[in-house]
Structure 1
Amino acid sequence: MLTQEQVAETRKAYLRLFFDMSNQAVENLGKLAALNAQAVRSTLEDTSDLAHKSLSIKEPQEWPAMQNSAASLMADRMQSYCGQVFDLVSATQVEFARIGKAQCETYGRQMKSVVEDVTRNAPAGSEATLTALDSAIAAANTLYETLQSSGHQAIEATRSNLEVASAAAKNARRAVDPVLQTVKR
C-alpha cells in the first residue's frame, strides 16, 4: 500500500503536472496572440498598399495584374500563417506529450510499487488476480504508446499535406502569371 509520503509525493507530482501544462498553455497562447497581432498588422499594411496602388491605376488593363498580385500576396501570407499556427500547435502537443509521458512513467512506477506490495502481502491463491492486474497495467501502457504514436503520425501527415498544398499553390501561381502578363499586354 502507499505510504503517506508516497501519497504526498503523488499529490505534488499532480500539482507540478498541472502547473507545467498550464504554463505551457499560457506561453503558447501568448505566442499565438503575437502571431495574430502580426497577421493583423500585415493585413492592414497590405490593405493600405493596395488602396494606394488602386488609386494610381490609370488603365483598366492594369486591374487584373494588381488583383493577381494582391491575391498572390494574400495566399502566401495565409500559407505562412497556417504553417506557423500548425508549428505552434505541434510544439504544444509535443510538450504536452512529453509532460504526459513523464507523468505516465511516474504513475507506472507507483503502480508497480503498489503491485509489488500487494503481491508480498497477498493471500495464497490470488496469483491470477495479480497477473490480471499486471496485464491491465501493461495494456494501459501499450494503449498510451499507441495513441502517442498515432498522434505523431497524424501530425506528420498534416505537415506533409500543408507542404503539398503550398507547393501546389506556388505551381498554380507560376502557371497563371504568364497568362496574366499576356492579358495585361
Structure 2
Amino acid sequence: MFTLPEQFSNAAKANFEAQLSLITNLTSKAFESVEKVVDLNLNVAKASLEDSSIAARQLLSAKDPQEFFSLSAAQAQPAAAKAIAYGRHLAGIATSAQAELTRATEEQIAETGRKMTALVEDVSKNAPAGSENVIAIVKSAIGNANAGYEQFNKTAKQAAEVIEANVNSAVNQFTQAAEKTTSRARK
C-alpha cells in the first residue's frame, strides 16, 4: 500500500508525463500541417510560374488588341479556378489539422480525468475517518472541472463549425464572382 504523499507524487509524475506526451503529439501534428501547407504552396508556385510563362508567350504572340484581350479573358477563368482550388485545399488542411488536434486533446483530457478519478477513489479508500467531506469536495471539484471541459469542448466545436462554414461561404462567393467576371470578360 502506498502512502498518501507517494500516491500524489506518482499521480503528479504521471500527469506531467501525459502533458509532455500531449504537447509532443500536438507539436508533431502542427508540423505535419505546416509541412502540407508548404508543399501546397511550393506546388502552386511552380504551377503558377509555368502558367505565367505560357500566358506571357500567348499574350506576346497576339496579332492585335482584340486577340490580346480575348486571350486575357480566356486565362482569367483557369486562374480563378486554380485560386478556388487552392483555397479549398488550404481550408481542408486547416480543418484536418483542427480535427486531429481536437481529437488528441480530447483523448488526453479523458485519460487524465480517468486517472484523477481513480486516484481520488484510491485515496478515499485509505483516507482517515472524518475526511469524507473533503473527499466529497474533491470529487465534486473533479466533476465540475469535467463538466466545464465538456462545455468548453462543445463551444470550441461550434466555433470551428462556424469558421468552416464562413470559409466555405467565402470560397463560394469568390467562385461566383470569378465566374461572373470571366463571363463578362468573354463578352
- TM-score clears 0.5: yes
Distance 1:63 1:156, change over 3 A: farther
2:65 is paired with a residue of what secondary structure?
A: coil
Q: How far 1:171 moved relative to its partner?
A: 3.0
Q: Does 1:101 align with 2:117?
A: no
2:40 paired residue number: 35
CA distance in 2, matches of 1:173, 1:50: 18
CA distance in 2, matches of 1:81, 1:61: 31
Q: Does 1:143 align with 2:148?
A: yes
Tell me which of 150, 164, 185 is aligned to 1:180.
185
1:61 is paired with a residue of what secondary structure?
A: helix
Q: Any gaps of 5 or more consecutive residues in structure 2? A: none
2:157 paired residue number: 152
Across the aligned residues of Structure 1 and Structure 2, the Cα RMSD in angstroms comes to 2.7
Task: Give aligned pairs, total.
Answer: 181
Q: How far 1:134 moved relative to its partner?
A: 2.5
Q: Does 1:171 align with 2:176?
A: yes
Q: How far 1:55 moved relative to its partner?
A: 0.5
Q: How far 1:123 moved relative to its partner?
A: 4.6
1:73 is paired with a residue of what secondary structure?
A: helix
Q: Does 1:57 align with 2:53?
A: no
Aligned letter for 2:88? G
Contact 2:70 2:186 in 1 (8 A): yes
CA distance in 2, matches of 1:11, 1:125: 27
Contact 2:76 2:182 in 1 (8 A): no
Aligned letter for 2:25? D
Deviations 1:71-94 (A, max 9, x none): 433332222222222211221221
2:82 is paired with a residue of what secondary structure?
A: helix
CA distance in 2, matches of 1:41, 1:145: 45
Q: Any gaps of 5 or more consecutive residues in structure 1? A: none
TM-score (normalizing by structure 2): 0.78
Q: Does 1:110 align with 2:128?
A: no
2:143 is paired with a residue of what secondary structure?
A: helix
1:14 paired residue number: 19
CA distance in 2, matches of 1:152, 1:165: 20
Distance 1:79 1:151, change over 3 A: farther
CA distance in 1, matches of 2:22, 2:182: 53
CA distance in 1, matches of 2:180, 2:12: 66
Q: How does 1:85-96 map to 2 (within 5 A)?
A: 85-96=90-101
Between the aligned residues of both structures, percent identity stands at 25
